[in-house]
Amino acid sequence: MGNSSQFEVHDASILENARAILEKAGSAKDMADAVIRAVQRNEEWRGKRCINLLAPEAPTSPTVRQLLASEIGTRAAEGHIGRVNRWFAGTQYIDEVESLCVELLKKAFRCNYADHRLMGSMLGNMAVYHALVQPGDRVMSASQPFGGHSSNRPDGPAGTRGLEIYDIPYDPDELEVDLDKFTEEAQRIRPKLVVMGMSMTLFPLPVREMTSIITEWGGKFVFDGAHQAGLIAGGQFQDPLNEGAAILTGSAGKTFSGPQSGMIMWNDPSLTKPITEAIFPVLVATHQVNRVAALAVAAAEILEFGRVYMAQIVKNAQALGQALDSRGVPVLAAHRGYTRTHQVIANVRQFGGGLEVAHRLAEANIISNKNLIPGDTPADWDRPSGLRMGTIEVTRLGMMEQEMETIAEFMARVLVNGEDPELVRRDVEDFRLPMQDFYYNFDNGWPTAQEGG
Ligand SMILES: *Cc1c(COP(=O)(O)O)cnc(C)c1O
């Protein structure tokens, strides 16, 4: 049992509250019920009554959710697909599910190779750092204030490999890679890998240009497309593997709208052995076959609905950006049309900063996250100036550009007019409660405004 002097990385008071709940419970069954009630409260609130604008979140289709609870998820299937490759017998149907998943991923991403076993795209990136570089090698990646992600930085998987990690130079006004500076520094550093993993992602990246510079010394470009995977598969963003990237990693639960997990795709046969051997037996053993089945169906949904679904996500993000900006909430990259992805980034410094604003909006049932933006320094890490929003969930609920106006109006009432979030929350609930079905899937088809696709 913990006590107040025990070191915790978690919020100690929340852990203490959990202990109090367990102590008050009369039996282990009551303890289990306490867990279930918390899940139900989340479902009732986040699931039914909130406008979820978290950019890395996507609602799955009813079928995908159902598959996550399927019997196949209780089976163990280590190793590569096939009778001889597996340690266990009895895996013929599992092989069928997994091979369908692999082939569906290849179709969705128009590539030669894909792996289905990663339980997060963090692991996809780790596979890259395990397979393609050695301690002491040099890599270049984007830093966090410009949207980079810890996966590719000293504090994440890349850092655990003892690499020398350099920043990719960025233009803070255009929010894009400063190609001149990159060329200069890359030629000096001669990195083995250049990894673009953008958690804040508004515009396509110069994959072709950067690749052509680093191939001079055999450097490889890795596109960590955690956020953009669905947009890429749906043909609504750049196509990194076609533009020179050697490897594309992606999260299955962000724009791709499948079960939270990872995917990795490539074309070059010489990468197959190093990558797949980094996945098994290094990073995963049993890899959740229920999740693989769900991922396979999510890939089929993208094949059928992805083009229109992803296009609407982008249109909605642009509409939300415009609608917020015109109501006095400054949005980044206004001069470039705000965004070409699912994301919108606001500068909310004048309203108290990202942390404060995200929590105030959450009181009005509008869920977003604080975000570092250019100009923030390391001291701003916990209290950055930015607010990141994404339009995946609202789009899958069937919303169109017109509804983005409504959402921006709710936000402006809290931030610009200083209205009591509790009052705005009532209107948010009235708006949200009638919309409970997720579209762009085989269960519910197209939203009525897009009947027939
Ligand atoms: C979210 C994210 C990841 C991690 O993805 P998980 O699927 O949550 O493991 C990796 N890289 C980038 C750029 C991300 O935004």
Closest CA to 294 of 126, 441, 111: 441
* Confidence grade of residue 373 (pLDDT, cut at 50, 70, 90): very high
Q: Which atom of ligand 1 is nearest to the CA of 260?
A: 7
3 pLDDT more than 80: no
Closest CA to 236 of 191, 203, 269: 203
Q: Rounded mean pLDDT of the chain? A: 96
| Residue pair 191/210 in contact by the 8 Å Cβ criterion | no
pLDDT in tens, 166-183: 999 999 888 899 999 999
Using alpha carbons only, give the angle 314, 318, 209 rounded to the nearest 5 degrees.
Answer: 65
- Closest CA to ligand 1's atom 15: 199
| Residue pair 293/137 in contact by the 8 Å Cβ criterion | no
359 pLDDT more than 60: yes
What separation in Å is there between the alpha carbon of 256 and the centre of ligand 1? 12
- The per-residue pLDDT for 144 is 85
Q: What are the two backbone dihedrals, phi and then psi, of residue 211, each rounded to the nearest 5 degrees?
A: -65, -40
pLDDT in tens, 109-153: 999 999 999 999 999 999 999 999 999 999 999 988 889 999 999
Q: Which atom of ligand 1 is nearest to the CA of 152?
A: 11
- The per-residue pLDDT for 417 is 98
- The per-residue pLDDT for 415 is 98
Instruction: Indicate whether residue 98 lines ligand 1 (CB < 6 A).
Output: no
- The per-residue pLDDT for 10 is 96
- Which domains are assigned to the chain? 64-299 (3.40.640.10), 306-450 (3.90.1150.10)
CA 113 to chain centroid = 21
Instruction: Indicate whether residue 255 lines ligand 1 (CB < 6 A).
Output: no
pLDDT in tens, 19-49: 999 999 999 999 999 999 999 999 999 999 9
pLDDT in tens, 297-347: 999 999 999 999 999 999 999 999 999 999 999 999 999 999 999 999 999
What separation in Å is there between the alpha carbon of 425 and the centre of ligand 1? 30
- The per-residue pLDDT for 449 is 76
Instruction: Indicate whether residue 114 lines ligand 1 (CB < 6 A).
Output: no
- The per-residue pLDDT for 411 is 98
